[in-house]
Amino acid sequence: MNRILAMSMIALFPALLLAETTAAAAPAELQPRAFDPLPLGAVKPAGWLEKQLRIQCDGLSGNLDLFWPDVKDSGWIGGKAEGWERMPYWLDGALPLAYLLDDAALKGRIEGYMNYILEHQQDDGWLGPQQSQGYKERDPWPVFVMLKVLTQYQEVTQDARVIPAMVKFLHCLDAQLDRKPLFDWNKSRWQDAALVIEWLYERAPEPWLLALAEKLQNQGYDWVKHFSDLPYKERVKKWEFESHVVNNAMAVKAPSVQWRLTNRVRDFKMTDKALEELDKYHGQFTGIFTGDECFAGKNPSQGSELCSVVEYLFSLETAGAILGEVPLFERLERIAFNALPATFTENMWAHQYDQQANQVTCALSKERVYTTNGEDANLFGLEPNYGCCTANLHQGWPKFTSSLWMRPKDGGLAAVAYAPSTVTTKIGETDVTVSLATDYPFGDTLTFTVRAAAPVTFPLVLRVPVWAVSPAVSIDRGPEEAVQPGAFHAIAREWGSETMVTLRLPMQVRAERRYNNAIALEYGPIVLSLQLGTYWKKLRGDEPHADYEVFPTTPWNYALRVDDANPAASVAVTRQGVSDSPFSPEKPPITATVTGRLLPDWLLERHAAAPPPQSPVVSTQPDTTLTLIPYGCAKLRVTEFPVLE
């Protein structure tokens, strides 16, 4: 938004003209992002992605407020249930889901909740309940989440009440911080509030806002120092804020959010360092890191909390937009296409608290592998272990959808991540729509159709994955032009009434050595896992949101015969096509076959697969042809395998 328009918005909202705070001086301007996010609603899902969002809406996400007390009777809407983070968490995903699908029923209920919240702001600006049972009075953490909700609500409705309400709360917060500094969760998660302040400043550039963001940073936990040399290099055995998996997933965006305020080179570079440190000591093949509930090392039987998956996605969307680096969007896709769908049942009525890369049973057990989580942490159910993930799981797919397209700093449109979608926006004064038809990540051909209301010149920027084999682009079915893997490719030209651009991203099987020299396989952005037979045992609760244990009905303890130098020669891939349920374990869109042998001595340990035996291994069992499917389809799975000698 240009400064003239921003200043006109100030005139509309007199609250912004309140006296500046006495906070320390802040930078006069924010550092510009490489890509500007588009407002909610500019990008709409299509194809398999729209089907996935519809599955989500028909499951827990679109129905939780109808029966789950902590949302249905939340203190945020005048009820007597929890009035802390759960209602804001649910709205943070359910609101964009409702508007992306234009679901009238869900939109209607959400608008009612938003009206109540806006109409019941307290006189001094505080939003939400003064205190929720079991939590401290006037804890700003849940309001940080509600501020994120309000930014999305304003983008999609242009409700004139939203920005004044945000400004009024931030003045209240500013005064409170002088007498009651950040603490506990809000101290660890200050960057979520700073991000919202940056959003607001771009629409109403009052210097006191940046001073407040700097105050939050100064009172908050120092994530830049934390990630410069991760202090937790081993499995953590006691609960604490600094090693908490969700806090760290949220904090991945902290250095880039901070850089916009400081313009320090060290802050700019620290996001890359954060990913490097997390991968080195706790990384998993799906792009996430372990934490069940705190850091848990690299053993593929350790878990990763669902909240950390969706928050890591949001951090990558945020940091990717600010920094404009291809690897951040590569990881965004990797997590979205693997770790995100894997932790839900196919119909998205049940979820896990913890997922495991090597997950061969999901059973209630007092003998547990987790660092600090409980005995039911990897059950599929309504609220296994703890209800925070029940409230927070909803943002993953909707925010990923909204982040597929962004606007480059120099203008035009950029496809930073890929899934079937349509983006509608203006380039200058011209209406432009770009539709992407594709089965990606299950197929390698992406067809963009660019439609402009009048001839207009701008760059169409396409991300070319680093793993693509001889990628190429063509225009209107013309000759193909080779493009550089691991970079952004810009097509700068005049666009007319309709132009077709085809991007081919050939995929091949790749291998990586992991924990105890085990091997893991991937195909394009898809991680491949062993397909296991499953038996689902209902444990408790009411359908369709009951709790289930899951047991294997086929062997899981195999070692693979794979040539590291040429894994494609060892693994044959077949594309099946995408069904109405994109991550169905019965109808996976991709299957692969590989040779393996049973490894009888590889057994369960603490109700989980023991760490993979050190490779290479020897087995006298006969060769067996094994079927691998996408990690996101496999609810029981082995992902890191011992390798035969």
Query: How is residue 442 written in tokens?
Result: 């299950």
Weakest-pLDDT range from 147-156, 319-328, 366-375, 555-564: 366-375
- Nearest 5°: the CA angle 325, 327, 331 is 130
Residue 8, pLDDT > 70, answer no
Residues 158-174 have a mean pLDDT of 98
**What's the confidence (pLDDT) of residue 368?**
87
Per-residue pLDDT tens over the stretch 370-409: 999 999 999 999 999 999 999 999 999 999 999 999 999 9
Residue with tokens 């930078």: 27
Alpha-carbon separation of residue 157 from 151, 186, 319, 449, 597 (angstroms): 10, 28, 26, 28, 58
- C-alpha span between 85 and 189 (Å, rounded): 13
Closest by CA position to 334, among listed 413, 280, 400 = 400
- What pLDDT shows up at residue 28? 60
Record the tokens describing residue 110, joined without a space: 């959400």
The beta strands (E) that lie in 296-419 are given as 303-305, 354-356, 405-408, 413-415
Angle between helix 104-119 and helix 60-67 axes, rounded to 10 deg:
50
* Confidence (pLDDT) at 2: 32
Q: What integer pLDDT is reported at residue 25 of this predicted model? A: 38
Q: Which residues contact 548 (CB under 8 A, 6 or more apart)?
A: 345, 350, 362, 379, 380, 381, 536, 537, 538, 539
> Per-residue pLDDT tens for 344-372?
999 999 999 999 999 999 999 888 899 99
